[in-house]
Structure 1
Amino acid sequence: MPIWVAATLLAGLFQTWRTALQQQLRGQLSVNAAAVVRYLYGVPVGVLLVVLYLTFIGGSLSAPSWDYLLFCALGGLGQIIGTNLLIMSFGHRGFAVGTAYSKTEAVQAALIALVFLGESFGLLSWVGIAVSVGGTLYLSLAGRVASLRDVAAATVQPSALYGLGAGLAFALCALAIRAATQALDGPDATLRALETLVVINTMQTLMQGSWLLATERKSIPDLFRTWRSSAQVGALSACGSACWFTGFAYAPVALVRAVGQVEILFTLLFSRFFLRERMKRTDVIGALVVVSGVVLVLLGR
């Protein structure tokens, strides 16, 4: 199995696990504070991953350039903006719609990479990207819309527009991260990805932490009061980001994000076997469509 595929599958698992644990922080932390703990507690975990990699695999750290730091800043800011847009979409009572349209990130990334970076894929990969995104949309919207007309109507809702904006921000974030890993001069793509994780998480801690300090100063003590849960969220977030960054270092963003749609399968499995919720027929159909899309992406690769 290619490194980028294994890393992407692990990224989806870690992200689902982190999201499940982060639910425990709801009611304990504000939205901004909950975002900060992902980065704040993720930095030491990222440093640990770099140290462990250097110890057991070997290699040496790369000297960052100004271009590299710029791409890191853009990637970190893009993730923050995308997360905030997604949360804004929830505020319009459109959790499912906002989430669904944010998942168009893979298609948006593919189009941006094609136009600006000249990245091209085989026809089968394009079909796979479309199928996997379509399966995710189906899983998110099934039972909430009755026809294609309803889907079109949902597209102009504020929640959908914010969701599409979030997808665009996440796509640009992923492209910036890929550019950052390629801007380093080290020969080991995995080590470059881990270095980039530490740099971006540090920048994000400073960016969103400064915003929290300026707007919600009284939330600062809560970051440390909830350290037991927050540290777990930060650790899983760092591990997930390390896997995403590794995938981006080895393969085009659109392909990584398309395979990453398996995240929704982990969500369904978590729902079924840990929360003991029954899976609906639409869940099974949507899951099979997502898997089919991922298979086509890999075959087209």
Structure 2
Amino acid sequence: MLWVATTLIAAVAQTGRNAAQAGLTGRIGTAGATAVRFIFGLPFALIALAVAAAVTTLPMPDGTVLRWAVTGAIAQMLATGFLLLAMQGRGFGVATALSKTEPVTLALIGALLLAEPLGWSRIAAITIAVAGVLLVSGADWSRLGRRSVFQGVAAGALFGLAAIGFRGAILALPEGGFFLRALTALALSLAIQTVLALIWLILFDRAALGGILREWRVSLAAGALGALASLFWFSGFALTSAANVRTLALIEVPLAQVISGRVFRQSVSARQWAGMGLIVLGVAWLLLAVVG
């Protein structure tokens, strides 16, 4: 059950990173805010990898690991962009909730690509938790624009594909404990993402690159929180199926609501409280299913 602890730590760190990135979007644009988590996260991952290399032998990635890592890296970059666009259009809490339809698509993709078993109990737990997410969003679905729905759901689907790619890379590494393999896969993925982000910004959005440098303090904080969150996400992926990790991670939604209330001054309705109750129920059911 170590994956439970790693997932909860990751969820807390990611909520802080999302809040920092959401604030950057209006100042440096979606592309710049998306790139921050990779460009400023990579140095922290490389420092941790260097420390690990000083005391043990690192697993060497092969072509299979690289293919999985590239899949996860690109999918995560696209997912982050869609999430920030949704945040800009519907608010922090709503966008986070829409993106959290991820566990459904993730469970299906995991079953297809990694042969991870589903089971009716896990499917029911995931469904209940995701239903709670939709309630927590607090959105008036009759007035919600199709673009916002598409952006949020697309972010969730792509985050799911990214999680599968990262788990595939971790499992394909030939040796090492779960934490060492997670760290190696993280550093490789962030290096790929940093190169791609810098190429995009240099070619198409140099103003955003300048903005990132001007906002280096917030960018550094977002990068540090992002690297910390990613390391614990990857550790969770090394220990259990990505669907289990990302369903438990729905605890991030109530955390986002707290951020929405305290930082962005958004109130919490009775329907949202009911949704949070469903999330807790679904997560508890998942944990019982996994333990059983």
Same fold per TM (> 0.5)?
Answer: yes
1:178 and 2:167 equivalent?
A: yes
Would you say the 8 A contact 1:132–1:258 is kept in 2?
yes
1:251 and 2:240 equivalent?
A: yes
Deviation of 1:191 (Å)? 0.9
Partner in structure 1 of residue 20 of structure 2: 21
One-letter code of the match for 1:193? Answer: A
1:144 and 2:133 equivalent?
A: no
Gaps of 5+ in 1: none
1:126 and 2:126 equivalent?
A: no
Partner in structure 1 of residue 108 of structure 2: 111
Percent identical residues: 31
Would you say the 8 A contact 2:100–2:130 is kept in 1?
yes
- In structure 2, do the counterparts of structure 1 residues 128 and 12 end up closer, same or farther at CA, with 3 Å as the change threshold? same
- In structure 2, do the counterparts of structure 1 residues 88 and 221 end up closer, same or farther at CA, with 3 Å as the change threshold? closer
Would you say the 8 A contact 1:94–1:160 is kept in 2?
no
Would you say the 8 A contact 1:124–1:300 is kept in 2?
yes
1:261 and 2:250 equivalent?
A: yes
Partner in structure 1 of residue 219 of structure 2: 230
1:72 and 2:47 equivalent?
A: no
Would you say the 8 A contact 1:121–1:300 is kept in 2?
no
Cα distance in structure 2, aligned partners of 1:13 and 1:184? 27
Gaps of 5+ in 2: none
Cα distance in structure 2, aligned partners of 1:187 and 1:137? 39
Cα root mean square deviation, aligned: 2.4
Cα distance in structure 2, aligned partners of 1:21 and 1:143? 23
Deviation of 1:68 (Å)? 0.8
Deviation of 1:277 (Å)? 5.7
Would you say the 8 A contact 1:41–1:235 is kept in 2?
yes
One-letter code of the match for 1:103? Answer: K
Would you say the 8 A contact 2:170–2:238 is kept in 1?
yes
Deviation of 1:221 (Å)? 2.8
- In structure 2, do the counterparts of structure 1 residues 54 and 128 end up closer, same or farther at CA, with 3 Å as the change threshold? farther
Deviation of 1:28 (Å)? 2.9
Partner in structure 2 of residue 48 of structure 1: 47
What secondary structure does 1:63 align onto?
Answer: coil
- In structure 2, do the counterparts of structure 1 residues 163 and 267 end up closer, same or farther at CA, with 3 Å as the change threshold? closer
Equivalenced residues, count: 289
What secondary structure does 2:175 align onto?
Answer: coil
- Structure 1-normalised TM-score? 0.87
Cα distance in structure 2, aligned partners of 1:84 and 1:18? 14
Would you say the 8 A contact 2:126–2:247 is kept in 1?
yes
1:163 and 2:162 equivalent?
A: no
One-letter code of the match for 1:10? Answer: I
